[in-house]
A and B are shown apart, each in its own frame.
Chain A
Amino acid sequence: DGGITQSPKYLFRKEGQNVTLSCEQNLNHDAMYWYRQDPGQGLRLIYYSQIVNDFQKGDIAEGYSVSREKKESFPLTVTSAQKNPTAFYLCASSIGLLSYEQYFGPGTRLTVT
């Protein structure tokens, strides 16, 4: 079955620690995205990648970093510089950048205390 996997489903960290969220897809999609969802707000774009070894900042990139060393993988690191890291994080992919339907992963709920 083709799809997007995110792990873990729930993640707990202490303040001041960096944490990396995993996103893997086997859809052979070129474009991948990371979104953040907070209660009562729409999804906001953190980073996106159009192709391997290339990525661009989205609307709320501060305090986050990404890498795209393989087509299938687009991990997101939430650094200690992110002031409000507790949120629901969604990874998505599409055949091409934005012009196509996006497929979403199941999400990771990160809680930082």
Chain B
Amino acid sequence: KNEVEQSPQNLTAQEGEFITINCSYSVGISALHWLQQHPGGGIVSLFMLSSGKKKHGRLIATINIQEKHSSLHITASHPRDSAVYICAVRSGGQGGSEKLVFGKGTKLTVNP
């Protein structure tokens, strides 16, 4: 079982819809990242959070540490939101060093 699981793997929506992408993890973490990867391959960091909720424009990220679960919400989705959204968790590695563990990503397509 992967340490970081994202759902759904693929998501198709109509412009204007409310989008939710989920991330569950099985390890203790110190922080969780949400990243956005556009078709060209470049990755942009959207959020880094360790508790509660963060909002940036139409994007909202929440995390529940007890349930080991995070969600990324997109309000009023737009075709330009089409991308792969990646969840990554920062957890303790071997010898006490931390590392980032990445989910496989959720591919979002927003149709006009």
For A102, what are the chain B residues with a Cβ–Cβ distance below 8 Å? Answer: 33, 45, 100
Q: Which residue of A lies closest to B46 (CB)?
A: A101
A-B CB pair tally, cutoff 8 Å: 50
A104 to B45 Cα, complex, angstroms: 8
A92 to B33 Cα, complex, angstroms: 14
Chain A: interface size category: 20 to 34
Q: Which residue of A lies closest to B104 (CB)?
A: A42
Q: Is the interface of A mostly helix, strand, loop or mixed?
A: loop
A37 to B100 Cα, complex, angstroms: 14
For A40, what are the chain B residues with a Cβ–Cβ distance below 8 Å? Answer: 104
Q: Which residue of B lies closest to A107 (CB)?
A: B41
A42 to B86 Cα, complex, angstroms: 8
- B100 in contact with A104 (CB, 8 Å): no
For A88, what are the chain B residues with a Cβ–Cβ distance below 8 Å? Answer: 41
Asked if A63 CB lies within 8 Å of chain B CBs, one says: no
Taking Cβ atoms with an 8 Å cutoff, the residues of B that contact A are: 2, 4, 33, 35, 40-45, 48, 86, 88, 90, 98-105
- Complex A-B: 6 CB contacts under 8 Å: A41-B104, A42-B102, A43-B88, A44-B102, A101-B45, A104-B42
